[in-house]
Structure 1
C-alpha cells in the first residue's frame, strides 16, 4: 500500500525527466527559485537505455551535475525494474543512482506528471474548449492521446493536490451510432476488444482512418497520423475529415466517462502533442457534444470545463512544481524512491 506523503526536498540540482514511448525530455532545476535549464528533446529509439540518453543528451552538454532526479515514465512502476509500455528501455533506478552519481531518484507515472502540471500551470498554458466559466479548486482529470492514451486523476484534499495514476486509456470503447456500427467491425482489435487506446492515439488515428476507408470501400491514401491530421484539418480529403471528426467524438465520450468517474468539477484537461495539433477539430461541436451526452448526468457534464494543455513541456513543468514545493502535493513515493 502506498503511503502519503514523503514531502522532504530532494537535494538540488535536480534532474527532471519526462520519458514517453517516443520522446524523452529533460531539464535541470538548479534550486527552488530558478527556471529549469532545458535540453533538446531526445528520441528514445536513438539510445539503448536511459543512462546513455542522460549521459549523452544532458550531462555531456552542461557543467551542472545533478544530485538527484525525478523521472516520469510511460508505464506502471513496480519492483526494481521498470519496463516502459511503448519503448524498449527498462529503468533500473538503483543502478542508475550509482552509475550517474545521484543521491536520490523518484520515479512516477508520466501522467501523474501531467496531473501535477494541471495543478500548477497558469491560464495562458491552456485553451478552453467550450465556455463553462471559472475553474473550481476541485478534482480534475488529465488524458492525452500520444504514442498511447495516458490518463490520470488529480484530487484536491486538505490543501494538497494528489495525483492518481492508472491505466484508464485501456478501458473499452464501443459503438453508439449507426455510423459507428459500420466502422467498428473494421477496427484492429487486441484479443478481441477495442480499447480506447486502439483508437485515441497516433496509431489509433491510422486504425480509425483505415476502418473508415474499409467501411466506405475506399482505398487508403495515408499511412501516417501526421498526414491524416494535415488532410483532415485542411479539408483536402473527405475520409481524413471524417476520421478527425470521429476521433474528436470518441475522445469526448471517453473524457466524459472519466469526468464522471472522478467527479471532475475542476475540469478535464487534454494533454500531449496530438491534442495541441488537432485543436481546431476539438473546437468544433463534436467533442463537447459527445462529452456532455451522458444522460442522466448531462447537466453535470455541461457545467464541467474542458481544456487543451498548450504548454510545450507541461510534464516537466509539473515535475518542477513538485520539486520546488513537495509539501503542496501528495505524491506516493513508497517503492518509487531510491536513495542512499
Structure 2
C-alpha cells in the first residue's frame, strides 16, 4: 500500500489538460493556492511538449514547478504516450530530464473531467431537465469535442474513484424513421457507426451532410461553427435539424452511460461544444432521449443531467487531486515517473 508521502506531490505543481487541439496549463503554488492560469498552447505549433512548455511557459515564469500532473487525450500504456488526435508523443522521462522536474504523473483527460465533477461549484454547472443528485453515488461525464470523451466516477470506501475508458467509441444506431433515412449517408469508421463519428466537432459536419443528402440538398455550410451558429439562430433548416438530432443522439449515449455506471449522482456534459449548444440542449430532445430507456424510464427520470460551464473544468479537477491526492482513488502504477 502507498504511504501518504508516496501519494503526495512536491509543490509547485504544473497541471495540464492536453487535448487534440489545445493544451491548457496552470501552476499550483501550494495546497491552499488557487491555480494560476498560464497561456494556452496550440499543440500543432510545437514539435514536442518539452519545446512548448519551455518556450511558452517556463521561460516566462519566475517559479519553477517541481512536479507535473498531466491529463492527456490518449491511452497510457508505456513510457511513450501518443495523443489520439494530435501529433505529440508524451515521454515523461524526457520531461524529467529536460525540464528539471522531479515527478510526472500522466492520466487520461477524462479522468480529469471526472475528478472535476466530484464536487462542482453550483455556478459551474447548469441542470438540464429533472432529477436530483443522490449524494455519494456514482457519476458519469461525457464531452463532445475533437472526439467524444467518456469517464465514470465511482464512490467506494469513502473515496471518489475515476474510471477512464474509450466509451466514445461505442456503437450507435438508428431508431426513428428519420434516423433510417439519414443513416445511409453517414460516414462510418471501420464499417460501423461509433458515437464519436457523430458526437464531436467533425461529427456535426458528418451529420449535417447526411441530413442534406437525405433531403437532396447541397450542403452550404462549411464547418461546425457555421452549422451550430445557423442552428441556434434558426437561419438554416438543415442546421437546425442537425443540432436537434445531435442533442437526441447525445441524450441516448448519455442515457447509456447513466445505466452503465448507475449514475444516480448525475451525468455531466463537458467541453466547449456542450457549452456552445446549451440553448439546444435545454430543449426537450436531449432529456427525452436520455429518459427513453424502457424498461428503466422511471429510473432515468430520477437521474439529473448537467452541462459543465466551468471554462477550465479539467484543470479544476486536477487541482483538487493535486491538493489532496488521498481523497481520490487515482491509479498511479505505470503512470508516474520520478527522477
CA deviation map 1:288-332 (0-9, x unaligned) = 000000000011110000000000000000000000001110000
Alignment CA distance shift 1:5-1:198 (3 Å) = farther
Alignment CA distance shift 1:228-1:122 (3 Å) = same
Partner secondary structure for residue 247 of structure 1: helix
* Distance in structure 1 (CA, Å) of the matches to 2:173 and 2:247: 15
* Distance in structure 2 (CA, Å) of the matches to 1:228 and 1:55: 37
* Distance in structure 1 (CA, Å) of the matches to 2:50 and 2:233: 41
* Distance in structure 1 (CA, Å) of the matches to 2:163 and 2:50: 27
The equivalent residue for 1:238 is 237
1:120 Cα offset (Å) = 3.2
Superposed, 1:198-237 pairs within 5 Å as 198-237=197-236
1:66 Cα offset (Å) = 0.2
1:274 Cα offset (Å) = 0.3
Gaps of 5+ in 2: none
Partner secondary structure for residue 333 of structure 1: coil
Partner secondary structure for residue 316 of structure 2: helix
* Distance in structure 2 (CA, Å) of the matches to 1:65 and 1:104: 13
TM-score, normalization by structure 2: 0.98
Tell me if the contact between 2:130 and 2:302 (Cα under 8 Å) persists in the aligned partners: no
1:49 Cα offset (Å) = 1.1
Alignment CA distance shift 1:75-1:232 (3 Å) = same
CA deviation map 1:177-202 (0-9, x unaligned) = 01000001100111110100000000
Gaps of 5+ in 1: none
* Distance in structure 1 (CA, Å) of the matches to 2:255 and 2:177: 21
1:58 Cα offset (Å) = 1.3
1:136 Cα offset (Å) = 2.5
1:8 Cα offset (Å) = 2.0
* Distance in structure 2 (CA, Å) of the matches to 1:15 and 1:137: 29
1:133 Cα offset (Å) = 3.0
The equivalent residue for 1:339 is 338
The equivalent residue for 1:297 is 296
TM-score, normalization by structure 1: 0.97
1:134 Cα offset (Å) = 4.3
Please tell me the root mean square deviation across aligned C-alpha atoms, in Å. 1.2
* Distance in structure 2 (CA, Å) of the matches to 1:56 and 1:179: 51
Partner secondary structure for residue 220 of structure 1: coil
1:223 Cα offset (Å) = 2.0
